[in-house]
Amino acid sequence: MPQRGRFITLEGGEGVGKSTNVAFVAGWLEAQGLEVVRTREPGGTPLAESIRALLLATTFDEPLDTDAELLLMFAARAQHLAEKIEPALSRGAWVVCDRFTDATFAYQGGGRGIDPARIATLERFVQKGLAPDLTLLLDMPPEASAERLAGRMRTQNTHLDRFEREQAAFFSAVRGAYLERAKAEPERFAVIDAARPLDQVQQVLEQVLSERVAPWR
Ligand code: TMP
């Protein structure tokens, strides 16, 4: 039986540079000779990506109920775990995931105000004890990330999804909830100042990976 792979997640608010840094982390691990599966939430499989489309859509003329949003996040996650994450970890691949359950505690808990105890119940039900081995939290004041988001909109001509349309208070609650989780589990989290230039952020990421990955090999 191959040694089980490791599960690494990247988290943070909107516009903190997650996609670029997910690619960087995956590339760094591949350069160490590891098999890496790069994925994201909500989504990661065709069915879970369909649930993602429902979650991000702005086209329905009825509001998405807060509990329905929470359950859809976990429905997508259950599918993603069964079809992609668990099989990869079992065959010894390392999984690098753009967001996971910390995002649910931050967005549905912090942002929407759902009791974290209810989220923890679903977490146990769906994940059956599985948790990330390492979580890289890209942290930035929401004002700075809002500026980045606005810049991306101008240059790439994209529209804002249902979460990106939230107000400043929502994003500062999201950030607060992320930082609280990081404080509660310092051995799992590394908090990275993402307001710095990209090359400096990646230097820190490389340092964290070198320190944390070596003992696992
Ligand atoms: P993305 O833009 O980083 O791909 O994520 C899509 C959105 O989904 C983002 O605004 C955060 C939100 N989200 C939640 O609200 N709860 C979750 O559990 C996850 C994984 C994402």
What pLDDT is stored for residue 157 in this prediction? 72
Region 90-95: what's the mean pLDDT? 97
Backbone angles phi, psi at 7, to 5 degrees: -115, 115
143 pLDDT above the threshold of 90: no
DSSP-derived 3-state class of residue 193: strand
Nearest residue (CA) to ligand 1, atom 2: 14
**End-to-end Cα distance, the chain:** 16
Give the pLDDT of residue 88.
Answer: 98
Poorest-pLDDT segment among 40-44, 62-66, 204-208, 211-215: 211-215
**Per residue, what are the HEC states of 101-156?**
HHHHHHHHHHHCCCCHHHHHHHHHHHHCCCCCCEEEEEECCHHHHHHHHHHHHHHH
- pLDDT tens per residue, range 107-126: 999 999 999 999 999 999 99
Ligand 1 center–CA 2 separation, angstroms: 32
Q: Which tokens is 141 given? A: 């004041």
Ligand 1 first shell, C-beta below 6 A? 14, 18, 40-42, 73, 99, 103-104, 107-108, 163
| Confidence (pLDDT) at 24 | 98
Q: Which atom of ligand 1 is nearest to the CA of 107?
A: 15
Say how far residue 161 (Cα) sits from the centre of its chain. 16
Per the prediction, the chain carries an average pLDDT of 95
For 128, 137, 211, 213, the CA distances from 205, given in Å and listed in that order, are: 29, 10, 10, 12
On whether the CB atoms of residues 148 and 22 are closer than 8 A, the answer is no
For a substitution probing ligand 1, which of 153, 163, 166 has the most ligand atoms within 8 Å of its CB?
163
148-158 pLDDT, tens digit each: 878 877 887 78
> By three-state DSSP, how is residue 56 classified?
helix
Residue located via tokens 């340092």:
207
| Mean pLDDT, range 11-20, rounded to an integer | 92
Q: What is the pTM of this model?
A: 0.96
| Sequence-distant (≥ 6) Cβ neighbours of residue 142 within 8 angstroms | 13, 168, 171, 172, 174, 175
Query: Which DSSP string corresponds to 7-47?
Result: EEEEEESTTSSHHHHHHHHHHHHHHTT--EEEEESS-SSHH
State the average pLDDT over residues 184-206: 97
CA 145/CA 1 separation, integer angstroms: 44
Ligand 1 centroid – CA 214 distance (Å): 30
Q: How many CB atoms are closer than 10 A to CB 202?
A: 18
